[in-house]
Amino acid sequence: MAIVRGRFIWHKELSSLNKKSIGSKFKTIRQMLNKMYPGEYTRQAVVNIPDPIKQFVSYQGLKNIEENIKKPRRNMILNLKNHYNVPTALFFPDEANEPLAGFFLGKHEDEEAYFDDFYRKAGTIHPHDPRERTALVRKYPELLDYDGDLDEEGEEIYEKDGGLVLDRVSIEFVMRVYQGTSKNVLMEKRIFDQYVLDPEDIEFIEQTIKFLSDKHKQKLESKQSLDKSKTEALLLRLSSLASKFR
């Protein structure tokens, strides 16, 4: 299966990026791109690309921009943003017709594959998919019966490192009891109803459950070992008693 590259910058990531200086924005974007396309967006790789960038910036010049030592001129900003395939509004928000809600970060030729992959994984079109609905319906006929959007209430959903991330989620715990040999479910009990938590807490909960599971396993093994010792002691005692009657 082909590797899908690119990611969508919105919500918290976009807010964080907007707070940065122009130089820091370029540095962050370049580093993100180089993570997705290893070796293609190092400083040296950027200054070595064909014109028009090469005639405007050197390696030291790009470093000075990224480290906020020198403020880039408008034509330099436009050339760099074109090479990185990011919107002008990220650098000149006052000139935009409307606030920037988000943007695809990646090579232009990877954009369609990214949104197709999002649809396959999420089961719905991305709320910022730039393609017209008619084109999407031709590609995905099932959308004729779909009139909803990804639930963004409270701006819970954003993307990080190429995957969907939530500000908060609802979870519940259900305990199932299985028969040891047949694996048939003997009992199912909801331990906790749904409640809201930070997604980062999920890893902690998983670790806690694993810890309890490991402790329980150790307890069972210890009990089995103790039972074995008791059995051996009992057999030894019975053997000793039996010898007295011989």
Residues 59 and 107 in one domain: yes
Choice between 147 and 133, residue whose per-residue pLDDT is larger: 133
* 106 & 132 share domain: yes
Convert the pLDDT of each residue in 84-96 to its tens digit: 999 999 999 999 8
Which one has a higher pLDDT value, 128 or 198?
128
| Domain contains 1 | no
- 101 occurs within a structural domain: yes
Residue identified by tokens 């998919």 is: 129
What's the confidence (pLDDT) of residue 242? 60
Report, as an integer, the average pLDDT of 176-184: 72
pLDDT reading at 57 higher than 80: yes
pTM for the predicted model, two decimal places = 0.57
Largest CA distance in the chain: 107
Split into its structural domains, the chain has a count of 3
The answer on 205 and 154 residing in a single domain is no
| Banded model confidence at residue 170, pLDDT cuts 50, 70, 90 | low
6, 107 contact by CB (below 8 A)? yes
Question: Does residue 94 lie within any of the structural domains?
Answer: yes
Most confident of 2-11, 64-73, 172-181, 190-199: 64-73
Q: Could you tell me the end-to-end alpha-carbon distance of the chain, in angstroms, rounded to an integer?
A: 76
236 and 175, same structural domain? Answer: no
Tell me if 188 sits within 8 A of 175, measured CB to CB.
Answer: yes
The mean-pLDDT minimum among 46-50, 112-116, 147-151, 158-162 falls in 147-151
- In a domain, residue 2? The reply is no
**Domain check: are 176 and 92 in the same one?**
no
Tell me which of 126 and 1 has the higher pLDDT: 126
- Same-domain status, 84 and 153: yes
pLDDT of 108 higher than 50: yes
Cβ atoms < 10 Å from Cβ of 63:
16
Residue 178 belongs to domain spanning? 168-197
Top-confidence residue, 229 or 104: 104
Residue 125 lies in a domain: yes
Residue 236 included in any domain: yes
Check whether residue 155 and residue 224 sit in a common domain: no
